[in-house]
Structure 1
Amino acid sequence: MKITLASSDYAVLLLYVVALLATGFYLNSRNKAAGKDIFLGGRSLSWWQIGFSLFSANAGPSMLVGFASIGFTQGMVGSNFEWLAWFFIFLMSMFFLPHYISTKVYTMPQFLLARFGKPSYNFLVGYSLISILIVWLGCALYAGGLIISQIFDIPLMQAVAVVALIAASFTAVGGLKAVVRTGIFQSAIIILSSIILVYLALRKAGGVQALVEAAPGSYWQLFRPASDPEYSWVAMVLGYPVVGIYYWCTDQTIVQKVLAGKSMKEGQYGAIFISALKILMPFIFIFPGIICYVLYKDIAQPDNAYITLVSQVMPHGFLGLCIAALIAALIDTVSSGLNSFSTVLTLDVLARFREMDETAKRATGRWTTLLAAVLAVGVAWFFPVRGKGFSS
């Protein structure tokens, strides 16, 4: 769907980019101690920094668009992905994290090396690099770049390259600390714009009661029958834990932020904080899809439900804020992936071939961050059916 932006929207977007770069670069120059460790930020993060950074990394563009699509077609059943996550986040903070900290690791492969030996270590090094490059970087760049290219009517790869350049610039300079600082800023943009969108859309729909009555009854079911082809309760209860344990307890990009806490308690509090934020997410991410179905099902498709609602209910200025939220979600996902890829490649691959002091590791980490950005753009370019996948 084509969105027409006004000068006020472009002003908001420009202000966002300036504020983002200022957060990523200027504040980094004021924190030299943490800047010496670009992989774990000098283990100096407070619980609220960890929580907001986890939120922004988790709330990628595929979540903003994808959850709205689930809301448009299925309703609140998608909330299970958020409301069941707290158990696995709690498991990570109370069971996994103490073991990670006791072994003083920087990466998940290093933990497997300490516990199970080199074969497991070598496997996870390769798997981590490939999964980060494809899932966290290539897939995010492709999906987010596709949306941005349609909004601004620019070539897909141009959008991908610009996003990769912005994310790589402050990530290479400031490392994890810059990723976390910008993540806090990005979280504020995402949450604020989403709350405004839901408020204005609900008001247009006539309020919560009118929305409940207008949407199909099945849209308010959290658990579907076992015979449901897409969201069976059996799949939710038995299938989701497999993904939940992997993602929240062992994924490098997630765990790395918790390991960067000032203490184990700060990391645990940060995990509890993101669990609390998970309560909010269905109401600001899935509700837009349900509201779009009620108001605009005749002109919208599942894949563009979010963009349709934004274009129809957000006044200019706030429209620019919503577009900034999409870009924020994309940039933070990419910057988190870049830092994690750089950490594993530097500490678990390159450091095995030559001795490196802290200065050399820091310099190598910055170059591998830039290398990861180039590789990620290449992966995004190779995704099939480029330029398709989202309704226009």
Structure 2
Amino acid sequence: MNVVALSTFILITFLVGAISWFKTRRQKITTAAGLFLANRSLTFTAVGTALFFTNISAAEFVGNSESVYVNNMSVMAWGVSSVFAMVLVSEFIIPIYLKGAMSTTPDFLESRYDSATKKLVSLLFLISYVVNLLPIVLYSGAVALNGVFHFSDHWNISYGNSIWILIWCIGLIGSLYSILGGLKAIVISDLVLGVFMFTAALLLAYFGLRHIGNGDPLLGIHTILSSKTEHFNSIGSAKDAVPFSTIFTGMILMNLFYWGTEQVIVQQALASADLKTSQKGIALACVGKLLGPLLFILPGIIAVHLYSNLHNTTETFSRVVSDVSPPMLSGFIAAVILGAAITSFSPALNSASTLFILNLYKPFKELKGKPVSEQDLLKNSRRFEMFAALLAMFIAPLLLFSNGNFYTFMQKMNAAFSIPIFSIMFVGFVTKKVPPIAAKIGLAFCFSGYILTQMVFDTGIHFLHILTILFLLTIAIMLIIGKMFPMQNDYVAQNKQVVDLKPWKNRHWFNGLLILLMILLFLLFSKIGIAT
């Protein structure tokens, strides 16, 4: 194990933690709002970086690089096309949440349907986080770190055992971040990591191209643009993991769910000082998503020109880092990977605790007629975070047995929870008389339908197209029930006037520019661009 790389890794990791502690050392968390929403005081830069880095985990580095190496750049669609969904969320959905002073996205379901629907969806979110999101973040982080430092070789243990150990190390560090620092500490870490991540991406690109070009980065650029260019194609065919047609079906639905209703993401936007700040923060996060090809795709392209046949393709990214980077840069990138894992794990843990405490624990106590103090909420939120973290750390190593492309596997798992929840949220947004029973039936139908089509029946249809079919059928069922058994009174959203709802006046032209850049990226990475 290279001493310089390990020393740099420890130094950078310590530096990020020290800056976060220094910036939050005078902050005492005494309320649930302080722990979960940073007292609704975040600036637009804090919101933007928090949104971006909560979305970015080691899974992005690991999954995207593997997909490009095995297939092509069609995997880019997940990140780049999300800009369109983010613009819609900024314009239409975030104002609804802020108007109702909502702390969690299921709060809308209570307002629109009833408390039972809110509790049911909160429970689904918690199951999704504990058995899917948190384990994936831990596993991908462990895979990336082992690939850079080759712990399994140096410790003389099996690959599986080294992944176990690293999962528990990342999980314990991330738990401490969330439990002791709350959302504010996580946001500060995101700001620091933002600078480090883009610096690391540029340096990795330089040394990777230099390696391909035998010391000349310009020759490296010429090489990747003149050979094996089919890997640059972002317009996926029917045989690719992400066919281009899926962008307009299930992918847009999953992106709308993720950026508009996923608690771990929306919580960052709800912590903003006002609507204008939230909208500017989302626009800033969009810029980060458009830079995704530089951050996550290029290492896969470099790997295509370095390795003819990798045995373990999930280590594509870490192999590139290990083989082309000088020791100091390897340690630097490893620290960024660990930071990305922590700043995805910690917000997810914080959001899981938010859902449990505010939507399940507190209502249960109040129903029993027992007073609930802020100290009681804080104490039990930290207990729940430790429980959820430990459970995730036990589940994460089981991903060693997952088959196929890791990124596609991750998205399939996410879909099982996302589309059923988004379907009833969508109907709630656009109708006023559909009753609560329709939401419960729709949720059960969509969830069971997806499980049956993915695990029981082989339809031969891409899972993203299946999601669209189920989404439309769920909406139809809910509308029919709404027609037959409408609510007596129309739903009317209440303005609780907690934050200023004046929108950002320059949002339209800026959002238009973002969408134009999104389209140009797809044209650049296509057969009419550089993938000739």
Question: Same fold by TM-score, threshold 0.5 exceeded?
Answer: yes
Please say which structure displays the higher CA radius of gyration: 2
Quick check: 1:213 aligned with 2:209? no
Please tell me whether the aligned partners of residues 34 and 44 of structure 1 are also in contact (alpha carbons under 8 angstroms): no
Quick check: 1:14 aligned with 2:26? no
Q: Equivalents in 1 of 2:270, 2:172: separation in Å?
A: 27
Quick check: 1:223 aligned with 2:220? no
Amino acid at match of 1:375: L
Q: Equivalents in 1 of 2:206, 2:146: separation in Å?
A: 27
Q: Equivalents in 2 of 1:253, 1:87: separation in Å?
A: 19
Give the aligned partner of residue 24 of structure 2. Answer: 28
Q: Equivalents in 2 of 1:285, 1:53: separation in Å?
A: 18
Please tell me whether the aligned partners of residues 300 and 308 of structure 1 are also in contact (alpha carbons under 8 angstroms): no
Alpha-carbon displacement from aligned partner over 1:213-252 (angstroms, at most 9, x marks no partner): 1123x32332234x43533222222221121111111000
C-alpha spacing 1:69/1:383, structure 2 compared with 1 (3 Å): closer
Q: Equivalents in 2 of 1:272, 1:50: separation in Å?
A: 10
The Cα shift of 1:144 comes to 2.2
Give the aligned partner of residue 442 of structure 2. Answer: none
Please tell me whether the aligned partners of residues 339 and 369 of structure 1 are also in contact (alpha carbons under 8 angstroms): yes
Q: Map 1:19-168 to 2 at 5 A.
A: 19-32=15-28, 37-149=34-146, 151-153=150-152, 155-168=162-175
Amino acid at match of 1:373: A
Q: Equivalents in 1 of 2:304, 2:59: separation in Å?
A: 19
The higher-RCO structure (CA 8 Å, 6+ apart) is 1
Please tell me whether the aligned partners of residues 65 and 304 of structure 1 are also in contact (alpha carbons under 8 angstroms): yes
Give the aligned partner of residue 317 of structure 2. Answer: 306
The Cα shift of 1:382 comes to 4.6
Instruction: Output the TM-score relative to the length of structure 2.
Output: 0.68
Give the aligned partner of residue 193 of structure 1. Answer: 200
Identity of aligned residues (%): 25
The Cα shift of 1:63 comes to 0.8
C-alpha spacing 1:148/1:121, structure 2 compared with 1 (3 Å): same
C-alpha spacing 1:79/1:39, structure 2 compared with 1 (3 Å): same
C-alpha spacing 1:307/1:128, structure 2 compared with 1 (3 Å): same
2:401 counterpart SS class = coil
1:181 is aligned, of 182, 188, 193, to 188
2:209 is aligned, of 179, 198, 202, to 202
The Cα shift of 1:356 comes to 1.8
C-alpha spacing 1:223/1:173, structure 2 compared with 1 (3 Å): same
Q: Map 1:224-263 to 2 at 5 A.
A: 224-225=236-237, 227-263=238-274
Please tell me whether the aligned partners of residues 143 and 315 of structure 2 are also in contact (alpha carbons under 8 angstroms): no
2:392 is aligned, of 376, 379, 384, to 376
The Cα shift of 1:17 comes to 2.5
Alpha-carbon displacement from aligned partner over 1:254-296 (angstroms, at most 9, x marks no partner): 0000000111111111100010111111122111101110232
Q: Equivalents in 2 of 1:349, 1:231: separation in Å?
A: 37
Amino acid at match of 1:265: K
Of residues 241-250 and 289-298 in structure 1, the stretch that sits farther from structure 2 once superposed is 289-298
Amino acid at match of 2:142: G
2:34 counterpart SS class = coil
Q: Equivalents in 2 of 1:318, 1:149: separation in Å?
A: 16
Structure 1: 5+ residue runs without aligned partners?
Answer: none
The Cα shift of 1:383 comes to 4.3
2:102 counterpart SS class = coil
Amino acid at match of 1:93: S
Please tell me whether the aligned partners of residues 38 and 365 of structure 1 are also in contact (alpha carbons under 8 angstroms): no
Quick check: 1:363 aligned with 2:370? no
C-alpha spacing 1:305/1:145, structure 2 compared with 1 (3 Å): closer
Please tell me whether the aligned partners of residues 28 and 178 of structure 1 are also in contact (alpha carbons under 8 angstroms): yes
Please tell me whether the aligned partners of residues 50 and 268 of structure 2 are also in contact (alpha carbons under 8 angstroms): yes
Please tell me whether the aligned partners of residues 132 and 340 of structure 1 are also in contact (alpha carbons under 8 angstroms): no
Please tell me whether the aligned partners of residues 82 and 278 of structure 1 are also in contact (alpha carbons under 8 angstroms): yes
The Cα shift of 1:341 comes to 0.7
Alpha-carbon displacement from aligned partner over 1:54-86 (angstroms, at most 9, x marks no partner): 222212111101111122123322222222111
Please tell me whether the aligned partners of residues 30 and 374 of structure 2 are also in contact (alpha carbons under 8 angstroms): no
Amino acid at match of 1:79: M
Amino acid at match of 1:362: L
Amino acid at match of 1:321: F
Of residues 207-216 and 81-90 in structure 1, the stretch that sits farther from structure 2 once superposed is 207-216
Alpha-carbon displacement from aligned partner over 1:117-143 (angstroms, at most 9, x marks no partner): 123212211111011112221222123
Instruction: Output the TM-score relative to the length of structure 1.
Output: 0.91
Q: How many residues are paired up?
A: 384
Q: Equivalents in 2 of 1:299, 1:88: separation in Å?
A: 35
Of residues 359-368 and 111-120 in structure 1, the stretch that sits farther from structure 2 once superposed is 359-368
Of residues 263-272 and 194-203 in structure 1, the stretch that sits farther from structure 2 once superposed is 194-203
